[in-house]
Amino acid sequence: MIRIRTIHIEEFRGIRDLALDLDGENFGICGPNGTGKSGVVDAIEFCLTGNITRLSGQGQGELSVKSHAPHVDHRENPEKAAVTITATVPSLGKKVRITRSVKNPRTATIEPADPKIQTIIEELQSHPEFALSRREIAKYIVTPPAQRSTDVQTLLRLDHIGDLRKVLVNYANRCKREADEAKHVRTRAESELKTALDVPTLDREKVLEKTNTKRSVLGLPALTELTPQTSFKEGAPEEGKDAKKPGVAKDVALADLAALSTAIHTGEPDDLKKHRESALASLKKLKEDEKALSLARAHGFITTGLGLVTKDACPLCDKPWDADELRAHLKAKLLSANEIGTLLEKLDKACDAIIGGIQARAEGIRKAAGYAAKLDRIVSHVELDAYAKDLDDAIAALKAFEDDHSQIEGAIAVLEAKWWEVPEDAQTRLDETEKGIKARPDSSAKDKAIEFLAVLQDRYERLHATNKTAGTMAARYSTAQRVYDLYNTVSNKVLEDIYDAVAKEFAGFYKAINDDEGKFIGELKAEPAKLSFNVDFYGRGTFPPGAYHSEGHQDGMGLCLYLALMKHTLGDKFTFAVLDDVLMSVDTGHRREVCRLLKTEFPNTQFVLTTHDRVWLQYLKTEGLIRKSKFFGGWNIDTGPRIWDDKDIWTEIQEALEMDDVPRAAAILRRYLEYISVVLADNLRAQVEYRGDASYDLGDLLPPTLNRWMDRLEKGIKSAKHWGHGDAQAELEKKLAEAKTLIAKSNTEQWAINKSVHFNKWENFSKTEFKEVADAFKALLDHIRCQNAKCGGYPYITPRKGASEQLRCSCGDINVNLKTK
Amino acid sequence: MAEYKSESISPTVTKVLDEYISVLYADEKIDNDAADRLAALLRNVKVPKFDDIDAALLSPPKGDKP
Q: What is the DSSP string of A541-564?
A: -EE-HHHHS-HHHHHHHHHHHHHH
Of B1, B20, B29, the CB nearest to A136: B1
Q: Which long-range contacts (CB under 8 A, 24 or more apart) does A590-593 make?
A: A590/A513, A590/A514, A590/A552, A590/A556, A591/A616, A591/A619, A592/A619, A592/A622, A592/A623, A592/A679, A592/A682, A592/A683, A592/A796, A593/A512, A593/A513, A593/A514, A593/A515
- Considering only residues 15 to 54 of chain B, which have any Cβ-Cβ distance to chain A shorter than 8 Å? 15-16, 19-20, 23-24, 27, 29-30, 34, 38, 42, 45, 47-50, 53-54
Q: Say how many domains are in chain B.
A: 1
The confidence score (pLDDT) of residue A460 equals: 94
Highest mean pLDDT among A137-141, A191-195, A305-309: A191-195
Q: What is the DSSP string of A178-208?
A: HHHHHHHHHHHHHHHHHHHHT-SS--HHHHH
Min Cα separation B20/chain A (Å): 6
Contact B30 A483 (CB under 8 A): yes
User: How do residues A90-115 score in pLDDT, each as one tens digit?
Assistant: 888 899 999 999 998 888 899 888 88
Nearest C-alpha neighbor of A613 from the set A151, A28, A65: A28
Taking CA–CA distances from B15, the nearest residue in chain A reads A494
**Is residue A86 over pLDDT 80?**
yes
User: How do residues A528-576 score in pLDDT, each as one tens digit?
Assistant: 556 788 888 888 888 888 888 887 788 888 889 889 988 887 778 788 8
- Distance, CA of A682 to CA of A154 (rounded, Å): 40
Contact A49 B24 (CB under 8 A): no
Contact A154 B1 (CB under 8 A): yes
The confidence score (pLDDT) of residue A292 equals: 57
B11 against A494, higher pLDDT:
A494
The confidence score (pLDDT) of residue A61 equals: 56
Q: What helix, strand, coil percent values describe chain B, rounded to 5?
A: 55, 0, 45
Give the pLDDT mean for A221-249: 74
The confidence score (pLDDT) of residue A299 equals: 46
The confidence score (pLDDT) of residue A300 equals: 47
**pLDDT confidence bin for A289, thresholds 50/70/90:** low
Contact A486 B27 (CB under 8 A): yes
The confidence score (pLDDT) of residue A302 equals: 59
Of A56, A166, A489, the CB nearest to B2: A56
Taking CA–CA distances from B26, the nearest residue in chain A reads A486
What count of Cα atoms within 13 Å lies in the side-chain half-sphere of residue A333? Answer: 17
Give the pLDDT mean for A277-296: 73
Min Cα separation B50/chain A (Å): 6
Of A155, A170, A483, the CB nearest to B57: A483
CA distances (Å), B30 to each of A488, A493, B16, B58, in order? 16, 20, 18, 10
Domain assignment present for B65: no
Q: Which long-range contacts (CB under 8 A, 24 or more apart) does A642-649 make?
A: A642/A35, A643/A18, A646/A28, A646/A30, A646/A617
A341 against A679, higher pLDDT:
A679
User: How do residues A598-607 score in pLDDT, each as one tens digit?
Assistant: 998 999 899 9
Contact A480 B57 (CB under 8 A): yes
A762 against A59, higher pLDDT:
A762
The confidence score (pLDDT) of residue A405 equals: 74
The confidence score (pLDDT) of residue A294 equals: 61
Given a contact cutoff of 8 angstroms between Cβ atoms, the answer to whether A525 and A496 are in contact is no
- Distance, CA of A246 to CA of A374 (rounded, Å): 8
Given a contact cutoff of 8 angstroms between Cβ atoms, the answer to whether A334 and A162 are in contact is no
- Distance, CA of A157 to CA of B6 (rounded, Å): 9
The confidence score (pLDDT) of residue A334 equals: 52
Domain assignment present for B4: no
Contact B19 A494 (CB under 8 A): yes
Of B4, B9, B34, the CB nearest to A51: B4
Q: Which residues of A are less than 8 Å from B53 in CB distance? A: 167-168, 171, 480
Q: Establish if B12 touches chain A: CB-CB under 8 angstroms.
A: yes
Taking CA–CA distances from B35, the nearest residue in chain A reads A483
Which stretch of A45-49, A598-602, A636-640, A740-744 has the lowest confidence by average pLDDT?
A: A636-640
Domain assignment present for B42: yes
- Distance, CA of A90 to CA of A807 (rounded, Å): 34
User: How do residues A630-652 score in pLDDT, each as one tens digit?
Assistant: 888 778 888 888 776 666 788 88
Taking CA–CA distances from B31, the nearest residue in chain A reads A479
**pLDDT confidence bin for A331, thresholds 50/70/90:** low
Min Cα separation A137/chain B (Å): 10
Of B6, B20, B24, the CB nearest to A491: B20
Name which of B9, B12, B21 to mutate to probe chain A: the one with the most chain A Cβ atoms within 10 A of its Cβ.
Answer: B12
Q: Over pLDDT 90: what percentage of chain A?
A: 35
Name which of B5, B8, B10 to mutate to probe chain A: the one with the most chain A Cβ atoms within 10 A of its Cβ.
Answer: B10
DSSP A460: H
CB-based burial, A532-556: b 16+ in 10 Å, e otherwise: ebbbbbeeeebebbeeebeeebbbb
- Distance, CA of A426 to CA of A421 (rounded, Å): 10
Given the DSSP bridges, would you call strands A131-133 and A606-611 parallel, antiparallel or unpaired?
A: unpaired
Domain assignment present for B3: no
Min Cα separation B6/chain A (Å): 5
Which stretch of A108-112, A286-290, A512-516, A589-593 has the lowest confidence by average pLDDT?
A: A286-290
Contact A569 B42 (CB under 8 A): no
Q: Which residues of B are less than 8 Å from A115 in CB distance? A: none
**pLDDT confidence bin for A445, thresholds 50/70/90:** confident
**Is residue A728 over pLDDT 70?**
yes
Give the pLDDT mean for A241-253: 65
The confidence score (pLDDT) of residue A391 equals: 95
User: Is cis: bond before B66, omega within 30 of 0?
Assistant: no
The confidence score (pLDDT) of residue A761 equals: 79
Give the pLDDT mean for B45-55: 87
Q: Which residues of A are less than 8 Å from B30 in CB distance? A: 479, 482-483, 486
Of B12, B27, B53, the CB nearest to A157: B12
**Is residue A588 over pLDDT 80?**
no
**Is residue A60 over pLDDT 90?**
no
A789 against A60, higher pLDDT:
A789
DSSP A73: G
- Helix (H, G, I), strand (E, B), or coil: what is residue A802? coil
Q: Over pLDDT 70: what percentage of chain A?
A: 88
**Is residue A240 over pLDDT 80?**
no
Contact A478 B15 (CB under 8 A): no
Given a contact cutoff of 8 angstroms between Cβ atoms, the answer to whether A509 and A601 are in contact is yes
Given a contact cutoff of 8 angstroms between Cβ atoms, the answer to whether A148 and A523 are in contact is no
**Is residue A343 over pLDDT 80?**
no
Range of the domain at B53: 11-57
Of A119, A151, A489, the CB nearest to B1: A151
The confidence score (pLDDT) of residue A632 equals: 84
User: How do residues A454-472 score in pLDDT, each as one tens digit?
Assistant: 889 999 999 999 999 999 9
The confidence score (pLDDT) of residue A8 equals: 95
The confidence score (pLDDT) of residue A808 equals: 92
**pLDDT confidence bin for A479, thresholds 50/70/90:** very high
Q: Which residues of A are less than 8 Å from B9 in CB distance? A: 160
The confidence score (pLDDT) of residue A565 equals: 85
Which stretch of A372-376, A588-592, A792-796, B24-28 has the lowest confidence by average pLDDT?
A: A588-592
User: How do residues B20-34 score in pLDDT, each as one tens digit?
Assistant: 999 999 998 888 899
**pLDDT confidence bin for A695, thresholds 50/70/90:** confident
**Is residue A310 over pLDDT 60?**
yes
- How confident is the prediction for chain A on average, in pLDDT? 84
Nearest C-alpha neighbor of A402 from the set A360, A361, A354, A339: A354
Domain assignment present for B16: yes
Q: Which residues of B are less than 8 Å from A151 in CB distance? A: 1
User: How do residues A428-444 score in pLDDT, each as one tens digit?
Assistant: 999 999 999 998 887 78
Domain assignment present for B63: no
The confidence score (pLDDT) of residue A645 equals: 64
- Distance, CA of A341 to CA of A484 (rounded, Å): 17
The confidence score (pLDDT) of residue A107 equals: 85
CB pairs under 8 A between A and B: 108
Domain assignment present for B64: no
The confidence score (pLDDT) of residue B4 equals: 34
**Is residue A737 over pLDDT 50?**
yes
Domain assignment present for B47: yes
